[in-house]
Amino acid sequence: MRYDAAIIGAGADGLAAAVMLVRSGLKVIVLERNERPGGRCITREFHPGFQASPFCDELPPIPPEIFWSLGLARLGAVFVPASVSTALWRDCAKSLAGNAGLFRAQSAATIRAALERSEKDILPQRKASFWTRSQPVRDAWPGEAWAARSLSDLLSGGISDAGARALAVAEALGPRAAHPDLAGSALHLLAPPSGSGLVAGGLQRLADSLLAAAQGGGAEILCGLEVTDIRRHGGKATGLRLADGTEIAARAVVSTLDLKRTFLSLFAWNDLPPEVGNRVGSFRMAGGTARLLFALDSLPERPAFATGDLFAGPIHIAPEDSQFGTAYAAWRAGTIAPHLPVILRAISATDPRCCPTGAAVMTATVACVPGCLFDGSWTNEKRDALREQVLVSIERVLPGMSARIKACELIVPPDIEEALGCTDGDLWGGDIASDQMLGFRPWLDCAAPRTPIDGLYLAGPSTAAGILGTCVSGVFAARAVMADLKARRLK
């Protein structure tokens, strides 16, 4: 059996690509190595009766036209509107308002414009060397000017209050390890770590809707099967080989794995054209995020000074201007800074069905936690120490939280790598830096979703479209496959 398209990975991008391709009458297979589809959009019981999504609570927004064209609302994916973030210190709380809100609106408008720019790369391209075909006239990307600016510098121009500025930095960086004083860090404003709002019923509901849409259209989704090789013939991708030795022939292959995982684990190194090997080798990826899932007897007391609905949105714990640089420097050295950026989320406050009545689920997402520690791998003692450190930070702003804990699961970057196959546990598919963003993501001056291997398309977080929203890179890869099939570029 030969398929029109074989998709590697049944996360949001892989399933969105499958929906688009089957709707245009193509024969599609999706291969997922885990026992169930969803990728990072899963929700599971981490303690009897308590549910949470282990890798993230919220994803970047799905652009409205893609959300509606995938028919997700009809299939049950309902988003709770994104809520206001709060910074919480021992004795005061602050939400983003005024100029800080303006930055958000400005980045949302730039992301929309970049989405339009990225769509241009889907047009079929004339046969030429991959490395030269899009270069003669390189259209500027919206937001390119931020490649030379630092986040601190950009924000200090508009936000005078130190607390509000620290919150704006914390919100832009999210749980990524980055230094806001470095040139190019302003690009984080184009890569919102969240903003879709929570999915009622957990992220699994989003995965289930995408799965229903893909299967309803006739896509074959096979789980528990790991892809080990992308087969090539005459320089073109011709299908896949699985860990059990099965071979699958396809006219097009779409990989939703990150750049390094796609090219370094699914091809032999010496089978890659040298310029591909060089770029992939120099592409920087590193995990920096840890997560704690808390099953609680009840929600902690809301501090009297915190106005508004504190538990409806993300809570940044005591952000400070100097904290981000120090935490980043420690992360680069493979150590853990004493004061880490922590984002708390009271999941059960917006979705009470995730735990028994009266109880609560909270998550803590922690930035600048290295995947590789300078003194060796993550032992149980090191995990316990990190858990303790985060709890001490939380106790400072929400006293009494520790006493309510019934169970706590800690997830560090190696666990993320093991569960999702992301290189080094990097959920973002590569550093957000001027040589790895917009028109340079992932190839220098060449557009994804196409790759230097004809017939192989890249979706997922390492692509330019991957930063613009959830499902976007899958949909764009599918459109590129359809355009190339129509132009008879795929046999």
User: Would you tell me which residues interact with ligand FAD (CB under 6 A)?
Assistant: 8-14, 31-34, 39-40, 55-56, 59-60, 174, 191, 193-194, 226-227, 256-257, 420-421, 427-429, 460-461, 466-467, 470
Nearest approach, Cβ of 411 to ligand FAD (angstroms)?
11
Residue among 416, 481, 486, 487 nearest 17 (CA): 481
Q: Which two tokens stand for residue 477?
A: 């890869």
Nearest approach, Cβ of 158 to ligand FAD (angstroms)?
22
Q: How far apart, in Å, are the Cα atoms of 42 and each of 52, 66, 178?
A: 8, 20, 26
**CB closer to ligand FAD out of 54 and 370:** 54
**CB closer to ligand FAD out of 89 and 255:** 255
Nearest approach, Cβ of 396 to ligand FAD (angstroms)?
25
**CB closer to ligand FAD out of 237 and 359:** 237
Nearest approach, Cβ of 366 to ligand FAD (angstroms)?
13
Distance of alpha carbon 480 from alpha carbon 472, whole angstroms: 12
Nearest approach, Cβ of 488 to ligand FAD (angstroms)?
29
Nearest approach, Cβ of 441 to ligand FAD (angstroms)?
8
For 93, what's the count of Cα atoms within 13 Å in the CB-facing half-sphere?
Answer: 21
Nearest approach, Cβ of 307 to ligand FAD (angstroms)?
27
Distance of alpha carbon 299 from alpha carbon 315, whole angstroms: 14
CB atoms within 10 A of CB 393: 19
- Residue 448 carries which side chain, given as an amino acid letter? A
Nearest approach, Cβ of 475 to ligand FAD (angstroms)?
11
**CB closer to ligand FAD out of 285 and 359:** 285
Q: Which two tokens stand for residue 126?
A: 């004339």
**CB closer to ligand FAD out of 164 and 259:** 259
Nearest approach, Cβ of 374 to ligand FAD (angstroms)?
26
Which residues have C-beta within 8 Å of that of residue 101, sequence separation ≥ 6?
Answer: none
**CB closer to ligand FAD out of 174 and 319:** 174
Dihedral angle sign, alpha carbons of residues 275, 276, 280, 281: negative
**CB closer to ligand FAD out of 319 and 421:** 421
Nearest approach, Cβ of 407 to ligand FAD (angstroms)?
22
**CB closer to ligand FAD out of 89 and 470:** 470
**CB closer to ligand FAD out of 188 and 450:** 188
Nearest approach, Cβ of 490 to ligand FAD (angstroms)?
22
Nearest approach, Cβ of 292 to ligand FAD (angstroms)?
15
**CB closer to ligand FAD out of 193 and 300:** 193
**CB closer to ligand FAD out of 9 and 287:** 9
**CB closer to ligand FAD out of 306 and 340:** 340
